Amino acid sequence: MKLTRTPLATTAALLCASLAVLPQANAEQAPATAVVGGQTSGDSLFPHQGNTGYDVQHYDVDLAYASNGSITATTTIDAVTTGEPLSEYSLDLEGLTVTAVTVNDAPATFTRLTDEDEGIHKLVVTPAAPVADAFTTAVTYSGTPTAHTDPDGSMEGWTSTTGGAVALNEPVGAMTWFPNNNTPTDKATFSTALTVPFNAILPFLNRTAVSTGVLDSVTTSGSTRTFTWEQPHQQAPYLSLAAIGRYSGAESDVALSEGTTAEWSYANTLIEGASGFANRRAQLSPMLQSIERNYGTYPGASIGVVVDTSTLGYALETQDRPYFEGSIGQNTLIHELAHQWFGNAVSPSDWSDIWLNEGPATFIATQVEAELYGGDSTEDTYYDLWDSTAAGSAFWTTPVAGFDDPADLFGAPTYNRGAMTLEAMRSALGDEVFGEIMRTWIERYAGGDASTAEWIALSEEISGRDLTAFFTDWLFDTDKPAWPSRWSLDLSSTPATGATLDPEDPFSLTLSATNVGKVAQTGSVVTLDVTSLLAQADLDTLPAGVTQSGTTLTWAVPANPVDATTAVTIPATVKTEPPSSNPITLEAYAETLGATCGACTATLEVDAPQPIEPAPTPAISGVLRLDRQLTATVGAWPEAADLDYQWLRDGSPIDDATDTTYDLTLDDLGARMKFEVSATQDGFLPTTRTSEPTAAVGKGVQSKRKRPGIDGVARVGRPLRALVPPRDAGTTTTYQWLAGKKPIKKATSRWYTITKKQRGKRLRVQTTTTKTGYHDVVRVSLRTKKVKKRS
């Protein structure tokens, strides 16, 4: 049985379906460099879906449904080109009979390309003249839609129900009822007008037609009734919906954490009572508010549910208005609502990233059931699943991300291991950091798409940790990963923090680790910065397990069973003549994953000559990336104080970095930066204040990234030259010539002389621009015309 399925959508929408041509009257203005749009979006699992060369801005679907199940429709698509003008482009459309295509209101030539084995269903459009920038394509078609069979054997797309039909489209079924750029990387707004038969005498025969977004109007004309739905938010084609049936409808305003959202919900009258329709509608508000508390404001244009009698075997997170088959389960409802954030607002960049939809939706369903209805916690649920699944189980043999078989799209790894990965993240990074990652994911990428690589980068950015090994184990490896330990780190002092020490007073620091997780704690490491301690006091003999390197103490935490606490005490003595009354301030830091701080800081006052007051701690602002500038805010010191500034790299002073601003350089890559203020004033002790360390400085981003071009004639024996737009100073560019997608052996220079082997092929050049300390820029040119024989 297929598990609940979630939608994807992408900011790569800029690679979607562009569909219009300049009017014939303007043909003389069309550039001579028009190209043919690509017939793939480059998806790793569905390489024959989607198209390139244009980006869809809006779909207007005007569809009339007849009682015999046939449809007559016109879909109008507003798009913009994403590169060169297009002399030809394609849409995805399966079955149905196309009777006319216009581009910018002018008739266009069209052909159909179909290969069932390869999953190719293309409508190829040749406008009267090449199109550039904004253009509009209108496709008129009719017939009886049929469902699409997925690689896992399940059905999607247009299917019949009792008294009507429903179109559910994940991953590629949208092409069974309207032409589109069928890729999760192209989102657009939608207008959907669904016309159904109307009988004024026998109203019980009448049908309702439902889609996503907001119900704009219902109009009746003679023997038909039209329901017009407007979707103002970005929506991927696979998240669209057409549901036609004899429904009971319900409308309301659903309370959110702030304000309300409009509800339109529908249930087939044959199953309304048994489906749980009324009870589940009543749960929409508390469920949505629970998700909002953790992951931010509800991102939809409206809300609702549709319950009907299809026999597909799954529910689906159609945008704003999830679809359910037969009945609505509580966990499934939460799952589909969670998708409105994870999958609908932010969609994966590739179908192999679908765990970014299903993992969060599965995790959140468990989380909300625990919060609202007394279900098991996410930790208990996913640890128990991990613990009860043998290492040799097939459950572990398909990677969570980056798998290559589309039949695995909706398998258990996508759902349960995806959720398990999130719980492992929560255990490893702590509730606060995990929650920030999840919320920032939505804030940063809502309305577009993002990839697993971007998820990893965001997690490392927010946590400040290298998570390569963690995500390799949990997302990409095909064996059972180790469950992370979860432990609480505490730092205390004797006397207690805040006490005042006199010269030669003894004192001690105690580090403790308490295992609050599910597995034994092993291999944990804690560090303690004792810079301020060493300025005011001397360390006594260090206990076993604690070592010193400069101003850092390192504690190798002993193995710690579940629910146990282990501790170590470090003795010290205040100097006979402490140089200042600066307090001894200490902070413990867990170098390994799994720790959350109970009390990780301690402060002891020292009764010595008084430091300068006020002495504010400086703060650092700016982007932690090469070639960016950091700025230190010094604060308000006494006017009589003389201030000196020093920037520190991983605790070490940087030569000539003595101003309040600092330009990051290659030497800073990976380092944590601090800023130090040293003050002197007559009658007071010298006083130093140092900022908190920043996160690690990251790689720079090259600013010049335009794709290369190709100069020359595509003919055997003729040379081609790569035209590389300007690149940043200090960069190196390498070349690889391609025939189609395949590299040409030894064709790695800027010039390439075409050989007989390339006859009939379209050539491209890929450039890789590198710069030390910066992310590489890899760009591929547009294709040449087909190579002709030697003239």
**Interval 98-111: pLDDT, tens:** 999 999 999 999 99
693 prior amide bond cis, ω within 30:
no
Query: What one-letter code names the amino acid at 516?
Result: V
pLDDT surpasses 50 at 25:
no
> pLDDT value at position 577?
77
Mean pLDDT, the chain, rounded, equals 93
Q: Give the torsion through C-alpha atoms of 495, 501, 502, 508, to 10 deg.
A: 50
Q: CA-to-CA distance for 122 and 5, rounded, in angstroms? A: 25
- Please write the tens of the pLDDT for every residue from 306-347: 999 999 999 999 999 999 999 999 999 999 999 999 999 999
Q: Quick: pLDDT tens for 535-553.
A: 999 999 999 999 999 999 9
15-21: average pLDDT: 34
User: Treating both helix axes as pointing N-terminal to C-terminal, what angle do 355-373 and 418-429 enclose, rounded to 10 degrees?
Assistant: 70
Among candidate residues 187, 240, 232, 237, the one with its CA nearest the CA of residue 12: 187
Burial class (CB in 10 A: 0-12, 13-18, 19+), 544: exposed
Q: What pLDDT is recorded for position 23? A: 39
The dihedral formed by the CA atoms of 286, 289, 293 and 299, expressed in degrees to the nearest 10: 150
Residues 369-402: tens digit of each pLDDT: 999 999 999 999 999 999 999 999 999 999 999 9
Report how far apart, in Å, the C-alpha atoms of 254 and of each of 332, 367, 419 are: 19, 21, 28
Span of 2-11, 242-251, 474-483, 724-733 with lowest mean pLDDT: 2-11
438, 408, 340, 361: CA torsion to nearest 10: -50
Element (H, E) at 155: strand 155-161
pLDDT of residue 529: 96
Q: Two tokens at 600?
A: 């990780």
In eight-state DSSP terms, residue 593 is T
Mean pLDDT of 217-242: 97
- Bridge partners of residue 553, in order along the sequence: 528, 548
| Cβ count near 202 (within 10 Å) | 7
Task: Please compute the mean of the pLDDT values over residues 291-305 and round it to a whole number.
Answer: 97
Nearest to 185 by CA among 56, 48, 14: 14
Specify the DSSP element, H or E, that contains 142: strand 134-143
Amino acid letter at 95?
A: G
CA angle 238, 243, 245 (to 5 degrees): 165
Q: Got the DSSP string for 394-453?
A: GGGSS-SSS---GGGTTSHIIIIIHHHHHHHHHHHH-HHHHHHHHHHHHHHHTTEEE-HH
DSSP 340-409: TTBTTTEEESSGGGTHHHHHHHHHHHHHHHHHHH-PPPHHHHHHHHHHHS-TTSGGGSS-SSS---GGGT
pLDDT at 546: 97
Task: Quickly count: other Cβ atoms within 10 Å of residue 212's Cβ.
Answer: 26
Residue 7 has pLDDT above 80, yes or no: no
Query: Which two tokens mark 176?
Result: 């069974």
Q: Is 462 exposed, middle or buried (0-12, 13-18, 19+ CB in 10 A)?
A: buried
Provide the pLDDT for residue 540: 96
CA atoms within 13 A on the CB side of 475: 21
Single out the residue of 34, 127, 10 nearest to residue 77, CA to CA. Answer: 127
Task: Identify the DSSP state of 559.
Answer: P
Strand order in the sheet with 709-712: 709-712, 719-723, 751-753
Residue 578's pLDDT is 85
Q: What is the pLDDT of residue 6?
A: 33
Mean pLDDT over 295-308 rounds to 97
pLDDT at 581: 77
Banded model confidence at residue 777, pLDDT cuts 50, 70, 90: very high
Answer yes or no: is pLDDT of 714 > 50: yes
Would the pLDDT of 11 be above 80?
Answer: no
Is the pLDDT at 117 greater than 50, yes or no? yes
Band of the pLDDT at 451, cuts 50, 70, 90? very high
What pLDDT is attached to residue 683?
67
Report pLDDT for 14: 30
Cis check: omega of the bond before 583, within 30 degrees of 0? no
Q: What is the DSSP letter of 521?
A: B
Residues in the chain: 791
Peptide bond into 171 cis (omega under 30): yes
Q: Which residues contact 324 (CB under 8 A, 6 or more apart)?
A: 275, 305, 306, 307, 308, 315, 332, 333, 336
Q: Which residues of 162-189 are buried (b: 16+ CB within 10 A; e: fewer)?
A: ebbbbbbbbbbbbbbbbbbbbbbbbbbb
Judged by average pLDDT, the poorest of 16-20, 120-124, 274-278, 422-426 is 16-20
- Could you tell me which of 322, 42, 378 has the C-alpha nearest to residue 184? 42
pLDDT at 21 over 80: no
704 — pLDDT class (breaks 50, 70, 90): very high
Tens of pLDDT, residue by residue over 157-207, are 999 999 999 999 999 999 999 999 999 999 999 999 999 999 998 988 999
Token look-up 């395949």 returns 742
Q: What is the pLDDT of residues 555-612, one digit of tens each?
A: 999 999 999 999 999 999 999 878 877 899 999 999 999 999 888 999 999 987 678 8
Q: What is the Cα–Cα distance from 194 to 188, expressed in whole angstroms? A: 19
- The pLDDT of residue 31 is above 60: no
| CA 330 – CA 373 distance, rounded (Å) | 10
* Among 516, 437, 428, residue whose Cα is nearest residue 467: 428
Whether 329 and 275 have beta carbons less than 8 Å apart is answered as no
